[in-house]
Chains A and B, each alone.
Chain A
Amino acid sequence: MRLDRKHFLVTTGAAATGAAIGFPAIIGAAPEPIRLGSIPCLTGSNALLGQQEHQGVLLAVEEINKRAGKAYDDRPIEIVEEDATNDNQSAVAALNKLLGENVVAVVNPVLSTQVQAMAPVMKTHEIPWMTGGTAVKNTQLGVPGMFRLRASDGITAAAMTNFIITDKKAKKVAILHASDAFGTGGADQVVQNLQKHGMTPVANEQYPKDAKDYTAEILKIKQSGADGLVMYVQNPSDTAIILKQIRSLGLTIPIVGSPSLANQTAMQVAGKDANGAYAGVDFIVGFNSNRATHFLTAFYNRFHQVPDVGSGSGWVYDSVNLLADTWRKIKSTDPAKTIAALKATKGWEGVLGTIACDAEGNMIHSVSIGQIQDEKLHLVKKVSA
C-alpha cells in the first residue's frame, strides 16, 4: 500500500515535471492513466440515480480517451468506481477504498446526506471532489476541494417560489415534500422564500418514505384552498404516483416541482398526468449549445435511452470534462494545482450551462423553469441568481 503510493507520487511527479519542461511522454513507457474515482449509489433505493451517474462518467471518459491527446499528453483516464450503496457507513467505507487506490479526483455522490457523511474524510484529503448534492449547507462544510456542479436548493427553491407567486399569481401556496434530506431541505428553502414575500404556506405536507397512497396529503392541500403547489420530491416513482393521484383526485392548481419532477423517468412514468406541471431545473431547457446537443445525441447513441440531464448524467458528464480540461490546461493532475485552477473556472461551457466557480465552490448559478408536455420539458423562463 505504502509502496504503491510512494511509487505513484514519484511517477506523477515525474510526469508533471516532464510535461513542464517539454517532454510530453516518459520514454519507454505508455503514458500513465489518470485514476479518476467515482462513487455513485449503484445498489439500493437510489440505484436509478447511480446508474445515470455511472453512464455519465463512462460516456465522458470514453470520449476523452478517444480524442487526440486524450486527457493531456496522451494520458487516458481510468475510472475507479465503488458503490456508495444507500447507507452512510458503506458509503464512507467505499470512499476510503477509493482514496486508498490513488485516485486524483472524486466524482459523486449526488445525495446530500452521503456528501455530508463523506465530508469529514474528504477534509483530510485535499483532492478535487465534484459533487451533486443540492443541500445549501454542503458547500459550507469547509471541505477544501469540494465543488458543486449543480444549482443549490437555495437558487432553485427561490426560482420556483418566485415563479409560482409572480408568474402564476398564487396567493396561497402549499408545499408537498418527501421526508428525506432532499425533500425537507428543499421545503425549508421554499418556506424561507415565501417569507420574503410575506407569505406562509397554507399547507406543508410531508409524506413518509415508501408511501404509496397520497390521498390524505392531497386532500389536505385541496382543503387548504391553495392556488399553487410547490413539490420537493426526489424519487421518480413517488413523483409519478403523486402526479397521477393529484390528477385523479381532481386537484387542478398550478404545480412547480424540484428538478427531479422533470426527471426523464418520472416524466415517462407519469405520462399525460405530468402535462402542464412546471419544474425548476438546473440546466437551461432547450439550451442549444454544442456541448448540450452533443451530449444528448452521444448519450442516446451509447445507451439507447434519453439521459436525465439535471439530476442524473449531465452534471457528472460536466464534472469529468471540466476536470479533464483543467488537467489539460495546467498539464498536471496535481490535486492542489487542480483545485486552484478549478476555483478560477469562469465561462466554461458545460451541458448544464455556463460554469463559473464562486468562493464556496458552487459552479452553477442559474436555473430555468420548464413546463412538461408529452414527456418533454419546454423552456418557460431563465432565472439567474
Chain B
Amino acid sequence: MNRRVLLLAVLVVAVALIPVLVHSDYILTVCVTAGVYAIVVMGLGILLGFTGQMSLAQAAFFGVGAYTSGYLTTQLGWSVWLGILGAMIVTGIVALVVGYPCLRLSGHYLALATIGFGIIVQLVLINWKGWTNGSDGMTGIPAPSIGSLVLDTYAKYFYLVLIAVVLCAYVAWRIKTTRVGRALEAIRENEIAARACGIDATRYKIIAFVFAGVYAGLAGSLLAHSTKFLSPDSYSFDQSVVFLVMLILGGSSSIGGAILGAVILEFLPEVLRPLKSSYIMVYGAAVVVMIIYMPRGLAGLFANLRRRSQPA
C-alpha cells in the first residue's frame, strides 16, 4: 500500500513538471482539457463503473456547471471560487431532481431517459437567452486568482486542474473503499440481492448519480474559466458519448483507468492531426480496435503488463 502511495506521489510530481518542461501553449491547452475531461469521466465511473447505472447526460451536467459558473461570475459578479462552488451545488441539486425519478429505470431505458435530459438541457441553453445569451454564447468569463496571482496562463491553470483531478480521484477512491462503495458494488452486481441484504438501493443509486453530476459540474466550471467563452453546442449528446467511450476504454470501474481513458482519447486526435482530413476517421477505427483488443480497458492492459513484469 505504501509503495503504491509513493508511486502515485511520484506520478503526480512527474505530471506537475510538465509545464516546467513544455512551453507549448498548444500542449498545455490539451492537457488542461484532458484533465477536465478526466474529472467528468471519473464522475461517470462512480455511476457506471461502481454502480452499474448508465448515463448519457454527463455533457449536460458539464454544461450546467459551466453556465452556472459563467452566470454567477459575469452577471452577479461573484468571485470565481464561489462560482465554482455554486456550479457544484447547482449541478448536485439538478442531479438529485433528475436522478430521483430516472433511476427507477435501468439499462437502455435509463440510457434513453438521460439522453432525453441531455437534449432538453442543450435546448434550454440555446433558448433561455436571458440567462445564457443563447447560441451566441457567453463571453468575458474571468480567470480565477489567488490573492494577486491570476491564473491566466495555461501553465498556471494546469496546476489548478491537476489539484482538482487529484482531489476528485481521492474522493472517488474513498467512495470505492468504504461502505458506500461496497453498497454501490453490490447494486452493480445484483440489485435484487442487494435490496434483500437491506441496502437502500434507490438512495445509493441517487448518491452515485449526484456525485457524477457534481464531478461534471466542477469540470464544466473549471473549463469555463479557462476558455472564457461558452456556447451551447459544446454540450451535445455527442459529447456525452465521448465521455462514455473514454470511460469504457479506460476501464470502467478503475479510477486510474478513467483518468487514462480521458487523457489518451483527448490526445489521440491531436496526435493523429498530421493525417490531415482522415484523422477523425482513423480515430474512429482506433476506438473499435482498442475495444476489441483491450477487454478490460487501458487499466486492464496496465495490470496485465505489471503482472507480466513481475517475476513468477
Contact = CB atoms under 8 A, between A and B. Distances in A.
- On whether the two chains bind one another, the answer is yes
Interface string B123-137: 100110000001111
B277 A113 contact: no
A43 B280 contact: yes
Contacts of A85: 280
Given A43-B280, A100-B24, A88 B135 contact: no
Given A100-B26, A184-B135, A90 B269 contact: yes
A137 B134 CA distance: 14
B227 A87 contact: no
A117 B139 CA distance: 8
Interface string A171-199: 00000000111011100000000000000
A117 B24 CA distance: 19
Q: Which of A1, A89, A121 has the most chain B CB atoms closer than 10 A to its own CB?
A: A89
Interface string B13-26: 00000000011111
Contacts of A2: 23
Nearest to A180: B135
A298 B71 CA distance: 49
A89 B137 contact: no
Interface stretch (A24-32, A71-79, A91-99): A91-99
A120 B26 contact: no
Contact of A87 (B29, B136, B233, B273): B233
Contact of B135 (A87, A99, A181): A181
A184 B29 contact: no
Main secondary structure of the interface of B (DSSP, over half): helix
B252 interface: no
B26 A113 contact: no
Contacts of A179: 126-127, 135
Contacts of A273: none
A187 B229 CA distance: 22
A93 B33 contact: yes
Q: Which of B126, B228, B231, B273 has the most chain A CB atoms closer than 10 A to its own CB?
A: B231
B89 interface: no
Nearest to A88: B234
Main secondary structure of the interface of A (DSSP, over half): helix
A323 interface: no
A325 interface: no
A208 interface: yes
Contacts, number: 92
A42 B279 CA distance: 11
Contacts of A119: 139, 229
Contacts of A185: 135-136
Contacts of B234: 87-89
B223 interface: yes
A374 interface: no
Contact of A82 (B33, B134, B273): B273
B199 interface: no
B291 to A, nearest CB: 22
A181 B231 contact: yes
A309 interface: no
Contacts of A86: 233
A135 B136 contact: yes
B180 interface: no
Nearest to B25: A96
A45 to B, nearest CB: 9
A65 interface: no
A93 B229 contact: no
A80 to B, nearest CB: 12
B30 interface: yes
B135 A93 contact: no
Contact of A180 (B22, B30, B233, B270): B233
Contacts of A135: 136
Given A42-B277, A93-B29, A88 B269 contact: no
Contacts of A43: 277, 279-280
Interface in B13-55: 22-26, 28-30, 33
Interface in B243-302: 269-270, 273, 276-277, 279-280
A83 interface: yes
Given A42-B277, A88-B234, A100-B24, A120 B136 contact: no
Contact of A83 (B28, B227, B273): B273
Nearest to B23: A1
A75 to B, nearest CB: 25
Contact of B223 (A87, A89, A90): A89
B154 to A, nearest CB: 8
Contact of B270 (A93, A117, A181): A93
A71 B276 CA distance: 26
7 contacts: A42-B277, A87-B239, A92-B29, A96-B28, A112-B136, A116-B137, A185-B135
Closest 4 pairs between A and B when the two form their complex, measured CB to CB = A96-B26, A97-B26, A181-B135, A120-B228
Given A88-B234, A184-B134, 17 more contacts: A83-B277, A87-B233, A87-B234, A93-B33, A93-B270, A100-B24, A113-B137, A113-B231, A113-B233, A116-B136, A119-B139, A121-B25, A135-B136, A179-B126, A180-B135, A180-B233, A181-B137
